[in-house]
Amino acid sequence: MGIVNVTPDSFFDGGARLDPENAVEAARRMYAEGAAIVDIGGESTRPGAEPVSLDEELQRVVPVLEALDGEVPVSIDTAKAEVARRALDLGAAMVNDVTALRGDAELAGVVAGSDAYLCLMHMLGEPRTMQDDPRYDDVVSEVASFLEERLRVAVAAGIAEERICLDPGFGFGKTVEHNFDLLRRLDEIVALGRPVVVGISRKRSLGRILGDPEATTGPLSASLAAAVLAYERGATILRVHDVRETVEALTVAEAAL
Ligand code: 9MG
């Protein structure tokens, strides 16, 4: 899954894709490089990010979806029912909801009324404050219980279980240690029985484990190491910035599995 952030404040590309033409070009390139799907989002969820209005989010993503016109399989990264509705009308195949259906009471109905796939992600708190001293007794079992509960909620709302994937939410209310516990024990998330999405690409934990306590991003090399580990531990969807390099790394990993 390639990442296209149509935002002015993405932690990694710093807003390079706010221009719809750049976003469309990035989506096409990622698809050509081997992404199975491209995740398009108009609201930043980086630590400290402020929410954006519905109008603003629609103005960012709709022109990109219109220009792509179904050419590239798309996941819409949103917690808003109306954004999801518009994106699905424009051909999106998946909704990536970082709130796991806790943000907008109407989102479950929108997904249930379509044949879209849904990604439910764990987050402790909200983007603005989530990195302010997150605490768990056991991060892996708490994340697993949360995802199990949100899966039940989604199925009860009429979304077919076969269309749901789960994501432990690397960096969403987690310290470096929490993120590495989750990566080490990813099998416990895989054991929930749904495809697991891992989004650790370029995240700050990778830069911090390499020795920079103030890092806000991580290097490509560390992202590839994490992607290979996650894949080897059972993740089936990797949400990444560097599609070509990740496809190459995973192709090598797969040859030795
Ligand atoms: C939108 N977004 C940013 N990081 C993410 C991650 O790790 N997983 C998912 N599903 N979405 C993310």
How many angstroms does the Cα of residue 234 sit away from the middle of ligand 1?
Answer: 18
CB 197 within 8 A of CB 239: yes
Nearest to 154 by CA among 108, 223, 212: 108
Give 148-152 contacts, CB < 8 A, sequence gap 24+. Answer: 148/192, 150/100, 150/101, 150/102, 150/120, 151/120, 151/192, 151/194
167 in contact with ligand 1, CB cutoff 6 A: yes
| Cα–Cα distance, 226 to 116 (Å, whole number) | 28
Residue 196's pLDDT is what?
98
CB 240 within 8 A of CB 36: no
How many angstroms does the Cα of residue 89 sit away from the middle of ligand 1?
Answer: 22
199 in contact with ligand 1, CB cutoff 6 A: yes
Atom of ligand 1 nearest to the CA of 121: 10
How many angstroms does the Cα of residue 170 sit away from the middle of ligand 1?
Answer: 8
Low-confidence ranges of the chain (pLDDT < 70): none
Q: Is 203 part of the annotated catalytic residue set?
A: yes
Residue of 5, 39, 57, 77 best suited for mutating to test ligand 1, as the one with most atoms within 8 Å of CB: 77
Closest residue by CA, ligand 1 atom 4: 199
Structure tokens at 208: 């911090």
| Cα–Cα distance, 176 to 232 (Å, whole number) | 21
| Cα–Cα distance, 219 to 25 (Å, whole number) | 23
Atom of ligand 1 nearest to the CA of 41: 1
How many angstroms does the Cα of residue 226 sit away from the middle of ligand 1?
Answer: 15
Residue 12's pLDDT is what?
77
Give the pTM: 0.96
Q: Is 233 part of the annotated catalytic residue set?
A: no
197 in contact with ligand 1, CB cutoff 6 A: yes
119 in contact with ligand 1, CB cutoff 6 A: yes
77 in contact with ligand 1, CB cutoff 6 A: yes
Catalytic member of 85, 163, 185, 239: 239
Catalytic member of 46, 203, 204, 233: 203
Closest residue by CA, ligand 1 atom 7: 199
